[in-house]
Amino acid sequence: MIRIVPSGEVPWEDVEAIFDGSEPGKCRCQRYKVKGWMWRDSTFDERYAAHESQAARGSGLVAYVDGEPAGWVAVEPRCDYAKLLDLPVPWKGRSEDKDDDGVWAVTCFVVRKGFRRQGLTYELAAATVEHAR
């Protein structure tokens, strides 16, 4: 059974379990939040603290499979992603207000080892729509 919960309603230890030992555990879903080059312009401790704060604010969703923390998706107002707002490609041919906090962005999916290839990313993606509303 899959259950998806806003990250602000779950213990930080559950989010940690999803990221433990994974490649995304190094960037902590901060790729589009850190202006400049993430590896030069931030430390792991800064990214870790920012991710913990992001999760506590409910700016993500956590998926549980049979009660076990299994997946994460970062979803919050687009204007909270400083680097995303500065990239030229997403804005080519568009003239909307980048600072519109009513437009949300999904920037990161992580599925814990042992829970991959079960369609969990699709479930998380679908849940972001209602969460953003």
**Domain CATH number, residue 92:** 3.40.630.30
Task: State which residues of the chain have pLDDT below 70.
Answer: none
Residue 38: the pLDDT is: 84
pLDDT for position 62 = 98
Q: How many domains does the chain have?
A: 1
**Phi, psi at 13, each rounded to 5°:** -60, -30
Domain limits for position 89: 2-132
pLDDT of residue 67: 97
Exposed e or buried b per residue across 82-109, where buried means at least 16 C-beta atoms within 10 angstroms of its C-beta: ebbbeeeeeeeeeeeeeeeeeebbbbbb
